[in-house]
A and B are shown apart, each in its own frame.
Chain A
Amino acid sequence: MHLRIHHRTRYVYRMPVVDSYNEVRLRPATDDPKRLLAFLLCVHPPRRLRHFRDEHHNYVQWFEIPEPHTELVIDAVSKIHTTSQYAAGGKPTGTHFSSLTSGEHMDMLHPFLVRSRYVDVDHDVWRLAIDARNERTDVFETAEAIMTFVNTNWVYQPNSTSASTHMSEVLKDRRGVCQDFAHVMIGMCRALGIPARYVSGYLYNGPTSHLRGAQASHAWCEVWIPERGWFGLDPTNNTLADERYIKIATGRDYDDAAPIRGSFSGPNGATAALEVTVEVELA
């Protein structure tokens, strides 16, 4: 699919703020120019941009605005050609749980098997995961079962949680948004020894979408299948991450992959408004 994404974030301040420093992860996660046809970040007030790669190889752009300003607009426009990672080989089934402990790279995968900032891997999660697994021996089939389990047992409810809601709360309340669904699924996978990571990005589902998270920032998760690599699953919509999914950043959880992270100096409550608009359309 040829998709065009326009992601605009606008902060309005009640009074001038200073010394703003920001790191953004807004570039689609591919270096292939045949896939990423164009990407441009634009900041107002106009600013020089620089970038680095973080420990998850995400493309991070940063900028600073030391002088007083009352508005900050961050505009990211991408044009991308997407394909489904499932299109060529289908589902990566056929890998037994036993290969999770013996496979290569398992040492590199350690961070995706243990607890992280927003994800717990404790007995409660493990018990849920065992139920969802239901004695399956195939790794990918188990991941799919967990996806469906989370999708059916949690309620999608916008504004019921915040960006900094921990998974343990979501486990209790059984409701949340895509970020929370992803955290729960990641925790359950990790509890069973399946390496799992968080993905932030976008979802296209046509101009009149009924899927959750479409036309907005979205989040889902990826599981590691030995010898095959990372595969995306979306517990919020109970679907595999196919060509409608545009990956931006990955990490242990939201904390590593947040689209925008910044700070500024100003009085308490200086931020009067935060507006985010995302357009994902066929190009």
Chain B
Amino acid sequence: MASFDNYDRGGFFDEVFAKDGVVRPHYENVMQSLNGMEAVDFGRRQQTADAAFLKQGVTFTVYGDEQGTERIFPFDLMPRIIPRAEWEHVEAGLIQRITALNLFLNDVYHGQQIINDKVVPAEVVESASHFRPAFRGINVPHHIYIHICGTDLVRDDDGTYYVLEDNARCPSGASYMLENRQAMKRAFPNLLQSLPVRPVDRYGAMLRNTLAHLAPPGVADPVIVVLTPGVYNSAYFEHAYLARQMGVPIVEGRDLIMRNDRVFVRTTRGLVQVHVIYRRIDDDFLDPLVFREDSLLGVPGLVHSYRLGHVALANSIGTGVADDKAVYAYVPKMIRYYLDQDPILPNVPTYLASEDADRSHILANLDKLVVKAVNESGGYGMLMGPHSTKEQQEEFHRRIVANPRNYIAQPVLSLSRHPVFVDDHFEGRHIDLRPYILYGDKVQVLPGGLTRVALRKGSLVVNSSQGGGSKDTWVLWNDEA
């Protein structure tokens, strides 16, 4: 296929081609196979895969779009490949990180040693919007708070992996990762089989074991359910998919009922006690008696039952303090504090407007930095320094001075790129990686994760709602394919 003839690395770190244009060893087999293929053939396979996604309803919902709300998540057939040694580094770093985050949560919801020892300032924790001071002193099963974590990683122009953010509440996307692999098996059955690619299909079983581990003591065969906000939620496909993968019921709040401080699910055969809830509802909506009283999605009394230990929740309540954008800046310090080790995966350097020295630096470099509002996501409340106007910079200057705790700033990273198929040839697009970490009896990282692609030319935004797509991620057993 001549589709790589005019491929432009664009001065970025390219996952496939090294600086001199030579194919990296772990991509050699895949490139050979693509080179022996006509562009039309590749295009046909791409169309078949797209059609399959649509038919199976692998969709997400875009709110506020007149064109119809159900979209397929665009999928690019060329796999992203990670060699063994590189993955081992990433895996070790993720396990270290989730371990430290859990120690942090256990600490801030108990004795707060890390605050007393002045490693993390009290204000940073207390002002985090997802910190739940009411949960101090409550013991959660096995002292684990984050059972399922999706951590977003990016690579800089020298290929170094950085942690961009931790998703410690309800990380989504695992179902796309699983479906992407299915699509690749259909599109390139021989290629996938001939290479030492680590499988991902154990995820359902691993997730189930992780949840079962949380069951109250003495419950040998726990009843597990997936709690969804309902069919109109953007990730409903995923909720249903994971429930099916685990072989457990999917329920809405109205399907659950409290009896004698215990949670029961209504079934065709009467009430059945529930032991573990994989909740895909935010804290705020979980229980109208404790959090938002206008919530119709949750179950009144659920939190009380959780406190008493009759039912387990994954993830626990209040985990959002660990993925707060200002708390993020302290994670390397946390790792050193709790584990007495150096962080394996670095953070993106982060300046906190709440710290005097950092604030001066931010205000002096508004034209170079990315400024983010701490309590907003999805690209709102963000200033992209190099692409901003003088007026926008002045506006942010005012906002930062008025409310420093709400702003952080980071240098602009030049994310790594990967070829994606566009019409009849390949072009480089920016990518990230979201691996999934499960913390049950032990900590496990599923090999790979969801590689997200900013499909729009030049774009850095990988979110599905804003023109992002995905790729299958192949972690190799070896360093070469």
State the A residues within 8 Å of B (CB). 6, 37-38, 40-42, 44-51, 61, 75, 77, 79
Assess whether A37 is in contact with B143, with CB atoms less than 8 Å apart: no
What chain B residues lie within 8 Å of A37 (beta carbons)? 88-89, 92
Q: At the interface, is chain B mostly helix, strand, loop or mixed?
A: helix
What chain A residues lie within 8 Å of B142 (beta carbons)? 44
A77 with B442, Cβ < 8 A, contacts A44-B143, A45-B143 known: yes
What chain B residues lie within 8 Å of A79 (beta carbons)? 88, 92
Query: What 10 A-B pairs have minimum CB-CB distances, sorted nearest first?
Result: A38-B92, A46-B106, A46-B143, A50-B340, A51-B340, A48-B338, A37-B88, A46-B103, A49-B340, A49-B339
How far apart are the CA atoms of A37 and B95 in the complex, in Å? Answer: 12
Could you tell me the distance in whole angstroms from the C-beta of A19 to the nearest C-beta in chain B?
A: 16
Assess whether A40 is in contact with B113, with CB atoms less than 8 Å apart: no
Q: What does the 1/0 interface line of B344-355 toward A look like (CB < 8 Å)?
A: 100000000000
How far apart are the CA atoms of A47 and B103 in the complex, in Å? Answer: 7
Assess whether A46 is in contact with B102, with CB atoms less than 8 Å apart: yes
Q: What does the 1/0 interface line of B83-104 toward A look like (CB < 8 Å)?
A: 0000011011001100100110
How far apart are the CA atoms of A6 and B443 in the complex, in Å? Answer: 11
Q: List 8 A-B contacts (CB under 8 A).
A: A6-B442, A37-B88, A38-B96, A38-B344, A40-B92, A44-B142, A48-B338, A61-B340
B237 within 8 A of A: no
Could you tell me the distance in whole angstroms from the C-beta of B447 to the nearest C-beta in chain A?
A: 12
What chain A residues lie within 8 Å of B143 (beta carbons)? 44-46
Identity of the chain B residue whose Cβ is nearest the Cβ of A47 in the assembled complex: B103
B337 within 8 A of A: yes
Contact of B95 among A38, A44, A45 (CB under 8 A): A38
Could you tell me the distance in whole angstroms from the C-beta of B422 to the nearest C-beta in chain A?
A: 38
Could you tell me the distance in whole angstroms from the C-beta of B346 to the nearest C-beta in chain A?
A: 15
CB under 8 Å from chain A, chain B span 59-91: 88-89, 91
Contact size range, B: 20 to 34
Assess whether B442 is in contact with A75, with CB atoms less than 8 Å apart: yes
Identity of the chain A residue whose Cβ is nearest the Cβ of B93 in the assembled complex: A38
Assess whether B92 is in contact with A42, with CB atoms less than 8 Å apart: no
Identity of the chain A residue whose Cβ is nearest the Cβ of B104 in the assembled complex: A46
Could you tell me the distance in whole angstroms from the C-beta of B446 to the nearest C-beta in chain A?
A: 16
Could you tell me the distance in whole angstroms from the C-beta of B183 to the nearest C-beta in chain A?
A: 29
How far apart are the CA atoms of A79 and B344 in the complex, in Å? Answer: 14
What chain A residues lie within 8 Å of B92 (beta carbons)? 37-38, 40, 79
How far apart are the CA atoms of A51 and B106 in the complex, in Å? Answer: 21
What chain A residues lie within 8 Å of B103 (beta carbons)? 46-48
Q: What does the 1/0 interface line of B272-287 toward A look like (CB < 8 Å)?
A: 0000000000000000
Could you tell me the distance in whole angstroms from the C-beta of B187 to the nearest C-beta in chain A?
A: 30
Could you tell me the distance in whole angstroms from the C-beta of A18 to the nearest C-beta in chain B?
A: 15
Identity of the chain B residue whose Cβ is nearest the Cβ of A50 in the assembled complex: B340
How far apart are the CA atoms of A257 and B92 in the complex, in Å? Answer: 26
Contact of B99 among A6, A42, A50, A51 (CB under 8 A): A42
How far apart are the CA atoms of A266 and B102 in the complex, in Å? Answer: 28
Could you tell me the distance in whole angstroms from the C-beta of A218 to the nearest C-beta in chain B?
A: 22
What chain B residues lie within 8 Å of A51 (beta carbons)? 340
How far apart are the CA atoms of A205 and B337 in the complex, in Å? Answer: 37
Contact of A40 among B88, B106, B337, B339 (CB under 8 A): B339
What chain B residues lie within 8 Å of A48 (beta carbons)? 103, 107, 113, 337-338
How far apart are the CA atoms of A38 and B95 in the complex, in Å? Answer: 9
How far apart are the CA atoms of A6 and B442 in the complex, in Å? Answer: 10
Could you tell me the distance in whole angstroms from the C-beta of A281 to the nearest C-beta in chain B?
A: 13
Could you tell me the distance in whole angstroms from the C-beta of A48 to the nearest C-beta in chain B?
A: 5
What chain A residues lie within 8 Å of B106 (beta carbons)? 46
A40 with B442, Cβ < 8 A, contacts A45-B143, A49-B339 known: no
Chain A CB within 10 Å — which of B92, B96, B99 has the most?
Answer: B92
Q: What does the 1/0 interface line of B6-40 toward A look like (CB < 8 Å)?
A: 00000000000000000000000000000000000
How far apart are the CA atoms of A208 and B337 in the complex, in Å? Answer: 40
Could you tell me the distance in whole angstroms from the C-beta of A207 to the nearest C-beta in chain B?
A: 18
How far apart are the CA atoms of A152 and B142 in the complex, in Å? Answer: 47
What chain B residues lie within 8 Å of A6 (beta carbons)? 442
How far apart are the CA atoms of A49 and B107 in the complex, in Å? Answer: 13
Could you tell me the distance in whole angstroms from the C-beta of B213 to the nearest C-beta in chain A?
A: 12
Identity of the chain A residue whose Cβ is nearest the Cβ of B111 in the assembled complex: A67
What chain A residues lie within 8 Å of B99 (beta carbons)? 40, 42
What chain A residues lie within 8 Å of B113 (beta carbons)? 48
How far apart are the CA atoms of A77 and B444 in the complex, in Å? Answer: 11
CB under 8 Å from chain A, chain B span 307-350: 337-340, 344
Assess whether A49 is in contact with B338, with CB atoms less than 8 Å apart: yes
Identity of the chain A residue whose Cβ is nearest the Cβ of B113 in the assembled complex: A48
Assess whether A40 is in contact with B95, with CB atoms less than 8 Å apart: yes
Could you tell me the distance in whole angstroms from the C-beta of B112 to the nearest C-beta in chain A?
A: 12
What chain B residues lie within 8 Å of A41 (beta carbons)? 339
Could you tell me the distance in whole angstroms from the C-beta of A76 to the nearest C-beta in chain B?
A: 11
How far apart are the CA atoms of A50 and B337 in the complex, in Å? Answer: 8
What chain B residues lie within 8 Å of A42 (beta carbons)? 99, 443
Assess whether B442 is in contact with A38, with CB atoms less than 8 Å apart: no
A40 with B96, Cβ < 8 A, contacts A46-B103, A46-B143, A48-B113 known: yes
Could you tell me the distance in whole angstroms from the C-beta of A9 to the nearest C-beta in chain B?
A: 14
Could you tell me the distance in whole angstroms from the C-beta of B316 to the nearest C-beta in chain A?
A: 13
- Apart from the given pairs A40-B96, A48-B338, 19 other A-B contacts in the complex at a CB distance below 8 Å: A37-B88, A38-B88, A38-B92, A38-B96, A40-B95, A40-B99, A41-B339, A44-B142, A44-B143, A46-B102, A46-B103, A46-B107, A47-B103, A48-B107, A49-B338, A49-B340, A61-B340, A75-B442, A77-B443
